[in-house]
Amino acid sequence: MKRFAGLILASIAALVVPTAVAQSFPIKPITIFINSEPGGANDVIARTIKDRMAAELGQPILIEYRVGAGGVIGLSALKRMEPNGYSIMLSGPGPVTLAPLLSSVPYDPLNDFEFINQAVNIPILVGINTSLSAKTLPEFISMAKREPGKYSFASTGMGAPSHLFGERLKQMTGIDMLHVPYKGPPAGALALASGQVSVFLTTSSTLAPFVESGKVRGLVLLNTTTRLKSMPEMQTSAEVGMSELTIPSWMGFLAPKGTPPAVIDKLDKAVQAALTDPKTKEVFDRLSFEPLGIPGPQFAARLKADSQVWGEVVRKANIKPEQ
């Protein structure tokens, strides 16, 4: 009888202790891990919103880096961290939805993490070299269809998001372009500006300086329904009659699997508060970032849909997964 009672008390304690921990969260600093190099989009976003998040949570927020393998090393490290809310990660889609389609990764992106908030949308700009006569995306598509294989597009590496962006553009428009990989967005942008390649699909903030200097012509913005304050003259894909041409590009917060729901909820609320802060909006407008603030369950559903989209792109492009 005593043993039975002990088991009951142990079971109750197992339920009560995590709840109490979640209710007292946080009692020490929280670390946002970044799985790309310092200065990248997720680093800039984290540094923009961390102080407002810290004010909401009542604890300091630190930033650390876990870089390598296109973000896979960082996400692998997050999987092994304690699921207590003190270690979270801000990541883009590369290691979450794309890498698992192209190589063997040591995690299941949809089942090994808790999704906190899909925080930011990052518009993609289709830029071309100014030696080309096209002034709009439909004009470029017509040119490319008349001369299949003549034009090329840059990426930041085989299987990188910008590679799949280019493949998706090819598949959705029926054009044929040569893929030319480079090491990083700056190298791809320089290659486009110098005429080594014809097209580059990348973040608007990457190409903005080259557009302003007249070395690159922006054709259209993808992944947004509204014009950017930083590029008010640039049309969206919907405005040129190509609203179906969408390319998922975002930054979102994840936590290790098993992080208590009450902790996830507190973190989500802190992200939401930071995203609606006027200072955040000012910085995001300047950098062409759009706050989303999509809570965890919807974030996870969108990831599942994205994985299906990109899986089809990889299959059609015949990009073979690495073993």
Contact 248, 270 (CB under 8 A): no
315 membership: H or E segment, kind and range: helix 296-317
CA distance 316 to 212: 35
Averaged pLDDT, 147-169: 91
Verify that 111 and 258 share a domain, yes or no. yes
Verify that 77 and 213 share a domain, yes or no. no
Verify that 282 and 146 share a domain, yes or no. no
Confidence of residue 69 (pLDDT cuts 50, 70, 90): confident
Q: What is the pLDDT of residue 287?
A: 86
Averaged pLDDT, 288-308: 93
Confidence of residue 265 (pLDDT cuts 50, 70, 90): very high
Averaged pLDDT, 263-277: 98
Q: What is the pLDDT of residue 12?
A: 54
Q: What is the pLDDT of residue 275?
A: 97
Read off the pLDDT of residues 8-44 as tens digits, 9 standing for 90 and up.
Answer: 555 554 554 456 666 789 999 999 999 988 888 889 9
* Domain assignment of residue 305, given as a range: 30-122+249-317
CATH of residue 58: 3.40.190.150
Question: What count of other Cβ atoms lies within 10 Å of the Cβ of residue 136?
Answer: 16
Provide the percentage of residues in the chain whose pLDDT is more than 90: 64
Q: What is the pLDDT of residue 7?
A: 55
Half-sphere exposure of 26 toward its Cβ, with a 13 Å CA cutoff? 25
Verify that 253 and 117 share a domain, yes or no. yes
Contact 62, 228 (CB under 8 A): no
Tokens 């993808």 correspond to 222
Total number of domains in the chain? 2
| Three-state secondary structure call for residue 27 | coil
Edge-to-edge strand list for the sheet holding 250-256:
61-65, 30-34, 87-91, 250-256, 113-121, 290-295
41: nearest Cα among 98, 156, 121: 121
Total residue length of the chain: 323
CATH of residue 186: 3.40.190.10
Edge-to-edge strand list for the sheet holding 152-155:
178-181, 152-155, 199-203, 124-129, 216-222
CA distance 66 to 239: 39
pLDDT, greater one: 174 or 41: 174
Read off the pLDDT of residues 95-144 as tens digits, 9 standing for 90 and up.
Answer: 999 899 988 999 999 999 999 999 999 999 999 999 999 999 999 999 99
Long-range contacts of 44-49 (CB under 8 A, 24+ apart): 44/287, 45/90, 45/119, 45/120, 45/251, 45/289, 46/90, 48/280, 48/283, 48/284, 49/119, 49/271, 49/274, 49/275, 49/277, 49/280
pLDDT, greater one: 247 or 138: 138
Q: Using the predicted structure, report yes or no on whether residue 259 has a pLDDT greater than 90.
A: yes
Verify that 207 and 172 share a domain, yes or no. yes
pLDDT, greater one: 38 or 2: 38
Q: What is the pLDDT of residue 13?
A: 46
- Among 176, 203, 222, give the residue marking a domain's end: 222
Tokens 């998706």 correspond to 168
